[in-house]
Structure 1
Amino acid sequence: MGEMSGFHLGVIGALFLSVASSVSIVICNKTLMSHLGFPFATTLTSWHLLVTFCTLHAAQRLNMFENKAIDMKTIILFGILNGVSIGLLNLSLGFNSIGFYQMTKLAIIPFTVLLETIFLKKQFSRKIKFSLSLLLLGVGIASVTDLQLNILGTILSLLAIITTCVGQILTNTIQKRLNVSSTQLLYQSAPFQAAILFVSGPLVDQFLTKQNVFAYKYSPIVLVFIILSCIIAVSVNFSTFLVIGKTSPVTYQVLGHLKTCLVLAFGYTLLHDPFTERNIIGILIAIFGMGLYSYFCTQESKKKQSVDLSLGSQIKDKDGSPLLNIVHQDKDSQEAKKSAKNPLV
């Protein structure tokens, strides 16, 4: 029971850290890009991953965690896949309307459910599917506005969905099957993610913004926000791997849509973004869907624990029954011997 309560506290802590750090970095990056005129999102992400690796390397040198060797081919492919996923999401945003990009993010949950059902044989109950549908409906109402389709943007969105889903499923699978922590996996994969974005980032950003990141004039306030963004990103990257490892890719995506709702609310209160009744209704529906998802997950988890406990007790009973049989057999044999010695019986 103590281990289970500790596990639940760890999950709650990971979820809280993920929400707090993600909302903080969105507000920071929105200020950096919208108000200070720094539009180089992909390059900034490569800096995030580079700072994350340097921070984890320093922590590992200080013996704050133990480095665990993982197959190099697995790590390289995993790192490249995640790096490509980030680049494709940024390209999808650049070639599509904001509404279609939001639809792309919404599509990640059902596609993840589909992939886990087909390839990992994972079962999702009707209640879970209903709560996820309600969540997606609410987020769609709150965030999706215009839907403008084009062939290139649609292809990029499909590729972004596939790579993101596969990357997040692998994040969970690698941690569990290879018995590595989120810190160990992030430490080994971050250099490869940073490398792919460090090379492709400036090209992607120049293609999307028509500006050169190396020719940009960096003012002191821009540098301060870039440094702040990189510091927060360490927490974001760490909590992402932690949440996916402790829960599931679907739960992480649900958490991501909670962040979307919080960002909309913070944008209205802090940055005075436009807010309508449609946003309010959508956020309320989404929060209700998240509540149902959390409730149903908790109920199913309790049922699974009770089943595991009952199976454990049955196994113990089965393990104990042969000993009882031996005792009974010994008593029967002793009585038989007595009867053989006594002719009157």
Structure 2
Amino acid sequence: MDAEKKKPMVSDAGAWAMNVVSAVGLIMTNKQLMSNSGYGFSFATTLTGFHFTMTALVGWISNATGLSVSKHVPLWELLWFSIVANMSITGMNLSLMLNSVGFYQISKLSIIPVVCLMEYFLHSKHYSSRVIMAVTAVAVGVGICTVTDVEIKNKGLLCACVAVFCTSLQQITIGSLQKKYDIGSFELLSKTAPIQAISLLLFGPFADYYLNGHSLLTYHYSMGATSFILLSCILAVFCNTSQYLCIGRFSATSFQVLGHMKTVCVLVLGWLLFDSALTLKNILGMLLAVVGMVVYSWAVEHEKKAKICPDIRVDSKLDGEDDMLLEKDNGVAKPDIELTR
């Protein structure tokens, strides 16, 4: 008798909600922390190193207290994944510095089709016309409400390509490693976080100095700035954990598509909290993106049900054949039983 699977501590909807809330909260916190009108902490790569340090600490405490179980994953796979993830982070930061905001947003939107292509070539995953139309609607909608000026530079284009490729590969690899080694999302994050933390803390200050020309050692750590750095790290733990949860349960494509709900939330909160402009163009783009997300969810659910129905029919047919074989084994045919009544 097969052992029953443990019910997950966080539901699917809870994982999505955790990711959206923590990611939006992290963006708002970092906006206040890093903006000139806030605390001017312009060390994005090093801050990410702080995030993974906190995540690694939480993972270590969880393993030490028995809340989670550590499973074996080859060191070379962890190192390879960490290199790809760090290149994604550094590439995105360089892309934001070297490119206009408009082209940076376009490069982020291009992650969706790149993920789809990677899943097609690496995992032979096929997409229905409904899913393709929904993905396109989301990308166009987010593009309408976020893309403004577009200016392309050679170095910026190269950094954007590296960032998009590494981000897509990283998100697909998260799901692959979880399935390959039958490891939970938090357990995998606990293994990769220390490697990313060490590497980002070593090379992050140099990357940030190249990006903004300021040294981390000269920054004045006020009480307010320190509090926001700590809050940013706490939110990053929830954001990282929920990202691994979502990709492990669904797919990198679903994570990208539904993840753009964060973009919509950030625009609305920016309008409410920071007096950002919200035009008719922004509103129409957000509505199109939301419609695309709803259609995508419906299309994916429709495909799941379509796959389940043939399996049920096959199982019913097999059960019928088993009953016929059982009657033959007993040496009595069904008509004979009816005649003896």
Please state which band the TM-score falls in when normalised by the shorter chain. over 0.9
Distance 1:234 1:9, change over 3 A: closer
Local SS of the residue matching 1:112: helix
1:109-145 alpha-carbon deviations (Å, 9 max, x no partner): 0011011111210011000000000000000000000
1:216-270 alpha-carbon deviations (Å, 9 max, x no partner): 1111110110001001111011001000001100111113211011000000001
Which residue number in structure 1 is paired with residue 196 of structure 2?
A: 193
1:54 aligns with 2:50: no
Which residue number in structure 1 is paired with residue 252 of structure 2?
A: 249
**Cα offset for 1:9?**
7.1
1:141-197 alpha-carbon deviations (Å, 9 max, x no partner): 000001100111101111111111111101011111211100110011111111221
Which residue number in structure 2 is paired with residue 92 of structure 1?
A: 95
**Cα offset for 1:85?**
1.1
Which residue number in structure 1 is paired with residue 209 of structure 2?
A: 206
1:132 aligns with 2:135: yes
Unpaired segments of 5 or more residues in structure 2? 337-341
Which residue number in structure 1 is paired with residue 218 of structure 2?
A: 215
**Cα offset for 1:89?**
1.0
Counterpart residue type for residue 59 of structure 2: L
Counterpart residue type for residue 69 of structure 1: H
Q: Is the 8 A contact 1:18 1:239 kept in 2?
A: yes
C-alpha RMSD over aligned residues: 1.8
How many corresponding residue pairs?
328
Equivalent in 116, 128, 139 of residue 119 of structure 2: 116
CA distance in 1 between partners of 2:101 and 2:142 (Å): 14
Which residue number in structure 2 is paired with residue 289 of structure 1?
A: 292
Counterpart residue type for residue 243 of structure 2: T
Q: Is the 8 A contact 1:49 1:191 kept in 2?
A: yes
Q: Is the 8 A contact 1:168 1:249 kept in 2?
A: yes
What does 1:114-193 align with in structure 2 at a 5 Å threshold? 114-193=117-196
CA distance in 2 between partners of 1:273 and 1:281 (Å): 16
CA distance in 2 between partners of 1:200 and 1:217 (Å): 21
Q: TM-score scaled to structure 1, two decimals? A: 0.91
Q: Is the 8 A contact 2:98 2:155 kept in 1?
A: yes
1:228 aligns with 2:228: no
Which residue number in structure 1 is paired with residue 318 of structure 2?
A: 315
CA distance in 2 between partners of 1:85 and 1:319 (Å): 54
> Percentage identity across aligned positions?
35
Q: Is the 8 A contact 1:80 1:192 kept in 2?
A: no
CA distance in 2 between partners of 1:198 and 1:312 (Å): 54
**Cα offset for 1:83?**
1.6
Unpaired segments of 5 or more residues in structure 1? 336-345
CA distance in 2 between partners of 1:240 and 1:224 (Å): 24
Which residue number in structure 1 is paired with residue 339 of structure 2?
A: none
Counterpart residue type for residue 178 of structure 2: Q
CA distance in 2 between partners of 1:74 and 1:149 (Å): 35
Equivalent in 41, 45, 49 of residue 42 of structure 1: 45
Q: TM-score scaled to structure 2, two decimals? A: 0.92
Q: Is the 8 A contact 2:87 2:162 kept in 1?
A: no
Higher helix content, 1 or 2: 1
CA distance in 1 between partners of 2:186 and 2:194 (Å): 13
Counterpart residue type for residue 49 of structure 2: S
Counterpart residue type for residue 177 of structure 1: K
Counterpart residue type for residue 157 of structure 2: T
Which residue number in structure 1 is paired with residue 20 of structure 2?
A: 19
